[in-house]
Structure 1
Amino acid sequence: MTAVDLSLVVTAHNETFVCGPTMTAADLAVQAARDAGYTVQTIVALDKATPETTDYFHQPAFDHWERWEMDHGDLGRVRNALIPRTDGRHIAFLDADDLFSENWLARGLDTLTAAEARGERVIAHPEVNIVFDGGKYLLQNVDQDSPLFTPYFLYVRNGYDSLCLTPREAHLEVPYVHRDIPNGLSFQDWQFAVETMSRGWRHVVVRDTIIFKRRRDFSLVVESSGRKSILRSLPEMTIDRIRDLHR
């Protein structure tokens, strides 16, 4: 049995001063979760981090966070390496230039705890994603059980962002694939959503919670889109199977 309710991992690569608001938001959300009675492990994963980023996170202001040095340079590989080392029954990730609402961790844990008590396998997502900086728009997430949800939507785009709150078991059952952008294969979070759904994990929205996604001039999303990357061929997405994907 793992020791704590949640492991929160902030992944950092080449960010410095923009991490200030990120870490403030993370600390507020962690405190809200602890005030609600949950135990939380806090980790900064410095994955192929630049010297400037490493120096930034080794400030005394972040001494209450564990700091792990990684050398993967890939969202999927670093998450797969991190998860077995964490202590939490649940895992949440935050990119070092993004933010989430103060209530996200507490309400997300409430949702997962209630689902587990009912014997349900659930992955939680914020109600809204707000994109800012290099782009400005809002994405409304939809419950997998909503009449507005259709699995055919997954042919067009990813329905669920990677900054979800997930039982540890789901990550161990469905490891992330590595990206291969030069060959036009990316969108690891998209594939994770499809594969978890096909294995009986239900994706739900936590009301009144927000993740703020910074869109930079250059990012994995921008690079993947620029190269017209696509999702890998998955058996769950074949025309005779996709209709049953979310059932």
Structure 2
Amino acid sequence: MKKTDVTAIINAHNEGLILTGTLKSVSKAVQRAEEGGLSVEVMVVADRCDDLTQDVLNDFDEIPVKLVEGDNGDLAESRNQGVKLAEGEFIAFIDGDDLWGADWLLNAVEAARKEKRECIWHPEVNLYFAENHQWFFHHHDMDSPDFKVENLLVINYWTALSFARKKVYVDNPYVRNQISKGMGYEDWSWNCSTIAKGLVHKVVPETCHFVRKKEFSLVRESVQADVMVSRHGLYNHLFQDKKRKFAKR
């Protein structure tokens, strides 16, 4: 039996009809990946979905989809749930209202297999779009000479739509958001924690994701609640690094 190269994990909640676009986007990326000789598993983690979102999932038949019911009430836990059940060597995340470029899976696997280090991969560019405007955001590559890791303490360099080997996600589970207690931004916390453990975040050249900006989202809820980034090890990592450099003087 052929091994599964990639598990594409779609995190769904109450996206309704918008989820159709995401499913079609994933379908196109899967088709391109399979044309390139890859085997792809598609999984939807449906966390407390409303009826319309569930209907969209039930009606979609372009590609086989493994539907996983969740009762997490939290995006971080839903990501972890998908990781545990994934069969792929690699995992690629996408949220239920965003879109991938068609070559994302194929190009990400190619980049990861050429790289000797264990890396976490992101698209080179994000196109953010809302009802009346859109803008580009270029992801940072840690191998770039102008990359400054300390800036990650005040700004999140990468979105949650990451790509890496399953082992990376198993060894580094997402921390549950606790907005009521003032802690959140699970993707930002995860980015900091993985760097503290020695992992490298890189971009896949000439790739793009399309990220929908909504009137209400987990990020907006976090901003309004004035939450902090969940606990991570980057502060200590940077302190120890500075301490080692000082000791060598």
TM over 0.5: same fold? yes
- CA change 1:51–1:170 in 2 (3 A) is same
Match for 2:145: what amino acid? P
| Structure 1 residue 158: Cα displacement | 1.1
Pick one of 87, 105, 120 that aligns with 1:123: 120
Partner of 2:247: none
What residue number does 2:56 align with?
Answer: 56
Paired position in structure 2 for 1:218: 216
- What's the offset of the Cα at 1:125? 0.4
What amino acid is aligned across from residue 215 of structure 1 in structure 2?
A: K
Output aligned runs, 1:187-206, within 5 Å.
187-206=185-204
Q: Distance in 2 between matches of 1:87 and 1:218?
A: 33
For the 8 Å contact 2:127–2:137, the answer to whether it is kept is: yes
Return the match for 2:180 from 157, 182, 188.
Answer: 182
Find the aligned partners of 2:24 and 2:160 in 1 and give their Cα distance: 21
Q: Deviations over 1:80-126 (max 9, x none)?
A: 122121100110111111001001111001011112xx3x1111100
DSSP 3-state at the match of 1:61: coil
Letter in 2 for 1:74: D
Aligned partners of 2:43 and 2:82 also within 8 Å: no
Whole-Å separation in 2 of the counterparts to 1:147 and 1:69: 44
SS across alignment from 2:184: coil
Instruction: State how many pairs are aligned.
Output: 240
Q: Distance in 2 between matches of 1:90 and 1:137?
A: 29
Residue type matched to 1:44 in 2? V
Partner-residue secondary structure (3-state), 1:78: helix
In the TM superposition, what whole-angstrom CA distance separates every residue of 1:18-51 from its partner, at most 9, and x where no partner exists? 1222111111111111111111001121111111
Q: Could you say which residue in structure 2 is the equivalent of 1:15?
A: 15
How far is the alpha carbon of 1:235 from its aligned partner? 3.8
Secondary structure, aligned partner of 1:15 = coil
Aligned partner of 1:173 in structure 2 is 171
- Give the structure 2 partner of residue 133 of structure 1: 130
Distance 1:201 1:40 in 2: 24
Name the SS for the 1:172 alignment partner. helix
Give the superposition deviation at 1:61. 2.6
Residue 236 (structure 1) shift: 2.4
Decide whether aligned partners of structure 1 residues 126 and 179 sit closer, same or farther in structure 2, where only a CA change above 3 A counts.
same
Q: Residue 40 of structure 1 aligns with which residue?
A: 40
| Backbone CA RMSD of aligned residues | 1.8
| Structure 2: runs of 5 or more not aligned | 244-249
Q: Which residue does 1:146 correspond to in 2?
A: 144
Query: How far apart, in 1, do the equivalents of 2:108 and 2:215 lie?
Result: 30
Unpaired runs of 5+ residues, structure 1, are none
SS, match of residue 168 in structure 2 = helix
Q: TM-score, normalised by structure 1?
A: 0.91
Q: Distance between the aligned counterparts of 2:104 and 2:23, measured in 1?
A: 14
Alignment check: 8 A CA contact 1:128 1:209 kept: yes
Amino acid at match of 2:155: R
Residues 1:243 and 1:14: Cα distance change in structure 2 (over 3 Å) = farther
Residue 125 of structure 1 aligns to which amino acid in structure 2? Answer: H
Q: Is the 8 A contact 2:101 2:208 kept in 1?
A: yes
